[in-house]
Amino acid sequence: MAREMPPDARLYSVEFAEANAAIARRIWDHAGVTDRITAVVGSIGDGGGTLDTLETAHGFTSGALDFLFVDHDKAAYLPDLKHILERRWLHKGSVVVADNVRVPGAPAYRAYMREMEGTGWRTVEHKTHVEYQTLIPDLVLESEYLGP
Ligand SMILES: C[S@@+](CC[C@H](N)C(=O)[O-])C[C@H]1O[C@@H](n2cnc3c(N)ncnc32)[C@H](O)[C@@H]1O
């Protein structure tokens, strides 16, 4: 992602396990992209603390998010997306990509995107496989935000 994004873009990874954040930082250092990525230790669903930190310490403002990748607790996909929508960080044309929507599965998130198709969101369901093999089918959802 860091290599593909525009030169003035910045990538933030929200990770609640400090040890995992430390590993991620070492990988980014090895890849030479440390200056463009920040790990924020916390969780979007922690009651507002991490959301507030993203606003006050990292400049998240209305319409500032072009792209969001969700690949954490599958049950948190939809509530976390709704928290982000409440903060109005997405803009018309922002893209949200969600991994593992079939396995382990994020049925509430998928149902929401289907229900909102053409009104709040336009979604393409990409057929793929669970990582590291080609036997178990999975889905990646790519959703364009159509605006509030
Ligand atoms: C599947 S891994 C992410 C892999 C990464 N996207 C990649 O492709 O290399 C999921 C990570 O999300 C973290 N995580 C799980 N639930 C979370 C939550 N509710 N808030 C923040 N981080 C969470 C886990 O600690 C784990 O490091």
The pLDDT tens digits of the residues spanning 43-90 come to: 999 999 999 999 999 999 999 999 999 999 999 999 999 999 999 999
**Residue 17 alpha carbon to ligand 1 centre in Å:** 8
Q: Which pLDDT does position 112 carry in this prediction? A: 98
Q: Which run of H or of E encompasses 120? A: none
**pLDDT band at 114, cuts 50/70/90?**
very high
Question: Domain segments of the chain: what residues?
Answer: 62-145
**Local confidence band at 131 (pLDDT 50, 70, 90 cut-offs):** very high
Residues 65/93, Cβ–Cβ less than 8 Å: no
Share of the chain above pLDDT 70, in %: 100
pTM of the model: 0.96
Q: Which run of H or of E encompasses 109?
A: helix 107-115
Alpha carbon of 94 to ligand 1 centroid (Å)? 21
Could you say which architecture CATH assigns to the domain 62-145?
3-Layer(aba) Sandwich (3.40)
Answer whether 70 contacts ligand 1 (Cβ < 6 A): no
Nearest to 114 by CA among 89, 139, 86: 139
130 CA → ligand 1 middle, Å = 16
Residues with Cβ within 8 Å of residue 9, at least 6 apart in sequence: 36, 66
The atom of ligand 1 lying closest to the CA of 20 is 27
